[in-house]
Structure 1
Amino acid sequence: MTKPARLCPALMVSAPASGQGKTSVTAAIARWHVRNGRRVRVFKTGPDFLDPMVLERASGAPVYQLDLWMNGEDDIRARLYEAAGEADLILIEGVMGLFDGGCSSADLAQRFGLPVLAVIDGAAMAQTFGALALGLARYREGLDVFGVAANRVGSAYHAQLLAQSVPTGITWLGALPRDAAMSLPGRHLGLVSAGEMHDIDARLDALADAWAAHASSALPAPVAFPPAAHATVRPRLRGHRVAIARDAAFCFLYPANLDVLREAGAELVFFSPLSGETLPACDAAWLPGGYPELHLSSLSNNDALRRDLRAHVEAGRPLLAECGGMLYALDSLGNADGDVATMAGLLPGQAVMQERLGGLGMQMAVLPEGELRGHTFHYAHADIAMRPLVMATNPDGGPSREGIYRRQRMTASFMHAYFPSNVEAAISLFLP
């Protein structure tokens, strides 16, 4: 018997451009509804790691990525169907501007029947706000721009002017003021991670309070999410222990990737290099991305971990080192201030942080284990004295092409892999 579709109100939170305040508005709406007793599930369009950390704190539930190219439609359908079974509201924060990119937020919204909330920075405008909202709504036939919200308003009167400018047929949903107390601080890769903001809950509560002052309770009609299931994961890692670095230096972990390892039967054990912890007893290890360049001294001083990792690799045990994890795996790493420190010495070479982007965009790598999809985003320049096993490519024809390096069973690259893009290939990286 075919299962029925699940009904749940949903909004794609997008904007005319980056920097308009999508994350702040999404977080404000999520926290506001949670405080009113509703269950909210939030997703992030694209491969971002940092926005989801804030949105997870705001909603109280893990935030998964949705990207038409990286995930594929089947994975997205399964995640939305699952969320609709447990939530009173689904929010999807978009990426860049509404129509930007080869697989845009608008594409995702239309493919899955998601109404759009357009966030517009109203700081330097009044009635023109309505013109922008109308343009977004009419630019593409078949796209449902349900509502609009303003960010960085100067006063209650300013919010009123913006609300009055919104054309008939587009719902005014709310506004956030210009206020440093509720801003979300950033740095070179995006927002400061939620775990490093000591006052994150105060900021999120301030956002929810501000949203309540100008918010409409209107929600679009529920979206019907048809039945869909995740692909079956074979228990090929049953009996295997996977040690994963996780702290402020190694914090870029997709929840979906951890799910794949658990579903494959792996026991996951986390450790903190910054706290001086050594490598736990394990069959395989994972050094994910993050900010090793901000913690050179602590990482360099952890001699025991360096010895453990070298013995692990030399014994032929699997190790995955991604982006920041690969930077730590090199002989040395230099930060933007010119400080250089000794790293793990698992891969011959050195890297230094630079002011301009070193890599940005989606990536696809065809490894001996199979094809994996993911992305790259970093400000480092690395000189690695090895020939890459393969080169990852950008599906949009962009210039970023990352080398994938292989030493015994260690795999290292600037590329962050999305494991559900090829579950069997991902699992194979953790097998001898």
Structure 2
Amino acid sequence: MSQLTGAHQIQSCPALFLAAPASGQGKTTVTAGLARYFTRQGLLVRVFKTGPDYLDPQILAQASRQPVEQLDLWMAGEAYCRQKLFEAAEVADLILVEGAMGMFDGEPSSADLAACFGIPIAIVMDVKGMAQTAAAVATGLASFRDDCVIAGLIANNCGSERHAQLIRDALPETLPLLATLKRDPSIALPERHLGLVQAEEVADELEQRFEAAADWLTSSLQASGDTQSLLQLPRPVDFVSAPLASVPPLLAGQHIAIARDEAFSFIYEANLRVLAALGATYSFFSPLRDSVLPVADALWLPGGYPELHADKLQANNDLTAQIQAFYHESKPILAECGGLLYCLETLIDLEQNQFNMLGLLSGVGAMRGRSGCQGMQSAVLPEGEVRAHAHHRSRSENTPAPMSYGRRQRHPAPGEAVYRSKGLTASYLHLFFASNPQAIAALFSSKITITNDSAIARNGVINVND
């Protein structure tokens, strides 16, 4: 039901926030299973993912058969998150939000997001190897803050009904046991070094796992006889609109070519909406398969897994030559993380194989296995600051002097290097365009003049040396 209050609207919709004491507890599996279960009942389920994440949303979008948005109070802002939840509530029968990391980890945390919008939290916990202790941990999480509404505990990887009963008996009456989910390795989601495998790579396998996960939830609850069924719609939450300022069409008439395939897929749908709102048109191309670069005024090379496809990237000589020519014409190019690696001279994969890349920037990119860097930062650009994040398992060496460094969210040390050469802006940072659309418009603008290999900033903002 929608209501008006002053200049804002209120829309009610059942909603549940899935959080956990730590990563690796099964949040994504449970969220995907719930999304598929209720979708099978004919309900429209909108799922959101907390924080900057490209892989989980792909999984959850396939499970729910609906687009999945990222929500982050720092990266996107409260008004943006509020409006996206309101818009979802207008069309959805159920809203699910998957948290990130541990429930109280980060600033802002999953708990901060849930509390801000009054969404009840279901605590997902892997209870393998503990019983009453699981109840103690869940009780501590539930009582840690008084501004969070706790719906109950979901005990994942529960070994037996006796195991479940020990947890149930140890929980206070104020903390219901929503579900005890039996161990079932057949529903686990495939992973690789940056997290889950991209959905499109294993679409058929995921379909089988989603269906199995929905059945897993049903059979687990039927076997346990839990009265507080997880498979009942949660209580409605009132979501208030927060209309966002309109974006001027600063990129009207500009066409942007965007790399998108198995090697480059870390693209927020929200970023594409910003480009469209700015008046730009865009098209996609595959650096793995296409031999012709689309006719365009600007180029976007997003993040992904170029290290897994470096041999094919190296072999695509025709496209390499065309991107190099595009660069030498000083047209705008944005390269993020995997796109940065693609722009370097050499890429070394996890097996120490070396591959030639575009060579737009001097330097070598090398994969590092499990160690790497992640965290929230602002990209400090001549066009303006843009909220962003870093998440990579590689290092770059022998690169040029950076134009600037990212500004970390809560630490004074310099963040990721930001490089500018001719029209190319490259960094490990993944930008969230909605945080500063005007800066993004200037970044992609083709109105750029080159004098003695120095880039006079787009739209006349500032001088930037090559």
What TM bracket, shorter-length normalisation?
over 0.9
Matched, 1:9 2:23: no
Matched, 1:232 2:246: yes
C-alpha distance after superposition, 1:198-221 (max 9, x if no partner): 401101111111011234134432
Cα gap change, 1:399 to 1:337, in 2 (>3 Å)? farther
Residues 355-370 of structure 1 aligned to structure 2 (within 5 Å)? 355-370=369-384
Residues 245-324 of structure 1 aligned to structure 2 (within 5 Å)? 245-324=259-338
Answer yes or no: is the 8 Å Cα contact 2:131–2:166 preserved in 1: yes
How much does 1:398 deviate? Answer: 7.2
C-alpha distance after superposition, 1:291-325 (max 9, x if no partner): 00111110100111111111111112111100001
Matched, 1:112 2:126: no
- The aligned counterpart of 2:461 is none
Answer yes or no: is the 8 Å Cα contact 1:389–1:404 preserved in 2: yes
- The aligned counterpart of 1:202 is 208
Answer yes or no: is the 8 Å Cα contact 1:11–1:92 preserved in 2: yes
Deviates more, 1:208-217 or 1:18-27: 208-217
Deviates more, 1:93-102 or 1:119-128: 119-128
Matched, 1:353 2:367: yes
Cα gap change, 1:46 to 1:176, in 2 (>3 Å)? same
Residues 33-432 of structure 1 aligned to structure 2 (within 5 Å)? 33-197=38-202, 198-215=204-221, 216=229, 217-397=231-411, 401-432=415-446
How much does 1:152 deviate? Answer: 1.6
- The aligned counterpart of 2:464 is none
- Counterparts of 2:184 and 2:292, CA distance in 1: 43
- Counterparts of 2:126 and 2:363, CA distance in 1: 44
SS of 2:245's equivalent? coil
TM-score of the two chains, using structure 1 as the length reference = 0.96
- Counterparts of 1:352 and 1:91, CA distance in 2: 38
Amino acid in structure 2 at the alignment position of 1:351: G
C-alpha distance after superposition, 1:266-289 (max 9, x if no partner): 222111112244311111111100
How much does 1:54 deviate? Answer: 0.5
Matched, 1:23 2:37: no
How much is the aligned-residue C-alpha RMSD, in angstroms?
1.7
Answer yes or no: is the 8 Å Cα contact 1:257–1:418 preserved in 2: yes
- Counterparts of 1:200 and 1:33, CA distance in 2: 17
- Counterparts of 2:171 and 2:269, CA distance in 1: 38
- Counterparts of 1:4 and 1:265, CA distance in 2: 28
How much does 1:132 deviate? Answer: 2.1
- Counterparts of 2:112 and 2:52, CA distance in 1: 16
C-alpha distance after superposition, 1:37-73 (max 9, x if no partner): 1111111111111111111111111111111111111
Cα gap change, 1:193 to 1:69, in 2 (>3 Å)? same
C-alpha distance after superposition, 1:2-45 (max 9, x if no partner): 34300011111100111111111111111111111111111111
SS of 2:238's equivalent? strand
How much does 1:169 deviate? Answer: 2.3
Answer yes or no: is the 8 Å Cα contact 1:114–1:144 preserved in 2: yes
- Counterparts of 1:72 and 1:109, CA distance in 2: 14
Answer yes or no: is the 8 Å Cα contact 1:43–1:66 preserved in 2: yes
- Counterparts of 1:23 and 1:307, CA distance in 2: 41
TM-score of the two chains, using structure 2 as the length reference = 0.89
C-alpha distance after superposition, 1:161-193 (max 9, x if no partner): 444544312233324332221101211111111
Q: Which has the larger radius of gyration?
A: 2
Cα gap change, 1:273 to 1:177, in 2 (>3 Å)? farther
C-alpha distance after superposition, 1:213-259 (max 9, x if no partner): 23413443211111212331111222221111111110111111111
Q: Percent identity?
A: 48
- Counterparts of 1:204 and 1:277, CA distance in 2: 36
How much does 1:131 deviate? Answer: 2.0
Amino acid in structure 2 at the alignment position of 1:17: A
Answer yes or no: is the 8 Å Cα contact 1:376–1:414 preserved in 2: yes
Answer yes or no: is the 8 Å Cα contact 1:289–1:325 preserved in 2: yes
SS of 2:124's equivalent? strand
How much does 1:126 deviate? Answer: 2.4
- Structure 2 unaligned spans of 5+: 1-5, 222-228, 447-466
Deviates more, 1:214-223 or 1:96-105: 214-223
- Counterparts of 2:414 and 2:111, CA distance in 1: 24
- Structure 1 unaligned spans of 5+: none
Deviates more, 1:350-359 or 1:310-319: 350-359
Answer yes or no: is the 8 Å Cα contact 1:15–1:119 preserved in 2: yes
Amino acid in structure 2 at the alignment position of 1:284: A
Cα gap change, 1:194 to 1:127, in 2 (>3 Å)? same
SS of 1:140's equivalent? coil
